[in-house]
A and B are shown apart, each in its own frame.
Chain A
């Protein structure tokens, strides 16, 4: 089955800096790669996703890149703000199957 590795587990940046979180996956058949932000005890909130026919996708300060050959994808947050502080999860799946999550990254943005 699919296995998703996520790094780093914690990340501390200064406000205004960029943050990058990286994930690798094992199943080459996976074709959907979302990123979620989660507050404790709340449902995950989708912040951006990418499908295997696209190499990069951007939404304002957030971007995701995908390298299918290397089986890794990354989340990039530019101009970080304190409110970006949260736990972020990457995930991977094939169409119709369950999302398999990485272990999460706790991002802290200090002002």
Chain B
């Protein structure tokens, strides 16, 4: 079964509202998780590194006030897209590294559609 679970798999929201995406590591404790955005037919672009118990590290060009990341426990990181706009519509996917196995696992991904 999946070792990293991401929910929801699909979400539609209205412009101006906020939506939260969850990423859970099921079989291991992940001190670090990563969030990516992927537009259709494009590559996975790293948005931020989520660190348990501390602030996320955002990549250049990613608005930290718009994409809120919280990593309050060793098994859960959340990405909240605030004041969503149609251009935020994308595939968002998380990953987590199992330090014991030195292996990276991806969540199932979340399709966000802002209407």
Contact = CB atoms under 8 A, between A and B. Distances in A.
A78 to B, nearest CB: 25
- A interface bracket (residues with beta carbon within 8 Å of B): 10 to 19
B91 A44 contact: no
Contacts of A13: none
Interface string A51-93: 0000000000000000000000000000000000000010000
Interface of A: 34, 40-44, 89, 95-104
A95 B111 CA distance: 29
B97 A96 contact: yes
A44 B97 CA distance: 15
Contacts of A102: 43
Contacts of B49: 97-98
A34 B102 CA distance: 13
B80 to A, nearest CB: 20
B43 A103 contact: yes
Contact of A95 (B93, B102, B107): B102
A104 B106 CA distance: 17
A27 B26 CA distance: 32
Contact of B43 (A34, A97, A104): A104
Nearest to A44: B106
A96 B32 contact: yes
B95 A101 contact: no
